[in-house]
Structure 1
Amino acid sequence: MTDWFITLPPVSQALAATLFTWFMTALGAGLVFLFKTINRKVLDGMLGFAAGVMIAASFWSLLAPAIEMAEQEGGSLPAWFPATAGFLMGGFFLWAVDKILPHLHQGFKTSEAEGIKTGWQRSTLLVLAITLHNIPEGLAVGVAFGALAADLPSASLAGAVALALGIGIQNFPEGTAVSVPLRREGMSRLKSFWYGQLSGLVEPVAGVLGAYAVISMRPILPYALAFAAGAMIYVVVEEVIPESQLARNTDLATVGAMLGFAVMMTLDVALG
């Protein structure tokens, strides 16, 4: 870990980390310049891998530290309460956004778009679905780095870096999963890449906002960590896993999820 990064304030670290996760999305989207299509089995394995990373990150990097912080802080509420309340609030938030923001999941007809009905193009709706997916990821990274300002034993720079690395790794296949299908539907390579990387730009925004929020209001820190976990689990269960099962490549998707979970768990335990 370089000295310049260590000396940055937590908000700047959150920005740098989420710019990295965005870069990994752009790198994955760049595969559209090499391939016009992607094998569905490969795509399902990649989606499963992303789901595994997000599930592992939700516990190892967010929920477990939230419970530890609540225990260290003490107070009248039991230690499990902030984690439970924040987790459910995160899921409810994504559910509400899901009902409002127009978006379309891969493999569905345009008429099956969710959210408020609009006349937007199919490509825009597809990108918005991944953008919605990326909000909790950026928020999770931002909250993890913002927690460093609280100077609690359970909040470590190495753990926050491990989370950013895990999210970045799974963002690579996500970028590919956006840009290549857009290319297959007739969009130019450059436009497909542009929309693919654009879906990840929400992460630096969410990351900085998350870091600022927990630094400004330290008592909400355990709730904020659990909130990000709940939002990520909602996305995994509502979007990522169902999409990985559409072509019935269930074994590949499951193996991908197991590998993703193992990679994120290893990163968090080894570095955190």
Structure 2
Amino acid sequence: MIEVFENLSPVTQAFLATLFTWGMTAIGASLVFATKKINQRLLDSMLGFAGGVMIAASYWSLLSPAIDMSENHPIGSWFPAAFGFLFGGIFIFIMNKIVPHLHPNAKLNDAEGIKPKRLSRSTLLVFAVTLHNIPEGLAVGIAFGALATGNTEATLAGAIALALGIGIQNFPEGVAVSMPLRGEGMSRGKSFMYGQFSGMVEPFAAVLGAMAVAFFEPILSYALSFAAGAMIFVVAEEVIPGSQEKGNKDLASISLMVGFTIMMILDVALG
């Protein structure tokens, strides 16, 4: 199976990998067919776990390789990583101010971005998770696209480890979208469709990221760092606060530590 995967182009590899991450979002969303409500402690622990995975992936899969790739940079090996990281966070910050969206458990009046007109709560929820899935898709795409550059710091095993980690943390994201919609009375089918739809953006973002770095090798270290900064902003702005707002701070924090550790093991062992 791995040998077949190795013979594919990095763009195709990125697309297939993010079909997996999208599928994990769909599996999480499919819980609406089994129950109308999920235990809040379980949901908060899953969100904390997802945050830990994203933090670990941001360093081991993205920032660390970016620094290693920049050893000969005239300013210093730290510059591409620092610049790309901050730019990634600023990009998501700006998008948050523009795209109308609503975080799970928030009231409709608390919608962020340009004030929406006639947008339903369900649509705003999907916009929120879709917006924050873009950096995840980009991260996977850039990791696979880096293989086309021939850079020794880029490995297939490392890219696969990143895709596995993103897929694992996408499961609670699917739950976080579909369950609130089901709880508000939406049908199981529609709740599932909205929940899995939030992960649909990842294959498109992955292909874009893979093509960009495959054709423009000089931006590789910046692109890796950009994806890391975007992911860390999402974790700090939404995932961690969302996992603790119902009072389960200790459980969410421990789950974050577990998620971080598992992703670290995946990255070090496979990458």
TM-score if structure 1 supplies the norm length?
Answer: 0.98
Question: Are 1:207 and 2:206 counterparts?
Answer: yes
The answer (yes or no) to whether the contact 1:107–1:246 under 8 Å persists in 2 is no
The answer (yes or no) to whether the contact 1:138–1:205 under 8 Å persists in 2 is yes
Question: Are 1:27 and 2:48 counterparts?
Answer: no
How big is the shift at 1:14? 0.4
Alignment deviations for residues 182-232 of structure 1 (CA, whole Å, 9 cap, x no partner): 100110000000000000000001000000111111100000000000000
Mind listing any 5+ residue stretches in structure 2 that lack a counterpart?
Answer: none
SS in 1 for 2:100: coil
How big is the shift at 1:176? 1.2
- Give the distance between the partners of 2:251 and 2:129, measured in 1 at CA: 21
The answer (yes or no) to whether the contact 2:59–2:228 under 8 Å persists in 1 is yes
Across the aligned residues of Structure 1 and Structure 2, the Cα RMSD in angstroms comes to: 0.8
SS in 2 for 1:105: coil
How big is the shift at 1:2? 2.4
Matched residue count: 270
1:106 to 104, 113, 117: 104
Partner residue, 1:251:
250
- Give the distance between the partners of 2:69 and 2:73, measured in 1 at CA: 11
Partner residue, 1:238:
237
The answer (yes or no) to whether the contact 2:105–2:180 under 8 Å persists in 1 is no
1:91 to 89, 92, 95: 89
Mind listing any 5+ residue stretches in structure 1 that lack a counterpart?
Answer: none
* Structure 2 counterpart of 1:60, one-letter code: W
SS in 2 for 1:256: helix
How big is the shift at 1:107? 1.4
- Structure 1 runs of 4+ aligned residues shifted over 3 Å read none
How big is the shift at 1:77? 2.4
Identity score, percent: 66
- Give the distance between the partners of 1:177 and 1:75, measured in 2 at CA: 42
Partner residue, 1:263:
262
Partner residue, 2:125:
126
Partner residue, 2:113:
115
How big is the shift at 1:6? 1.0
Alignment deviations for residues 155-197 of structure 1 (CA, whole Å, 9 cap, x no partner): 0000000000000011111111111111001100000000000
SS in 2 for 1:103: coil
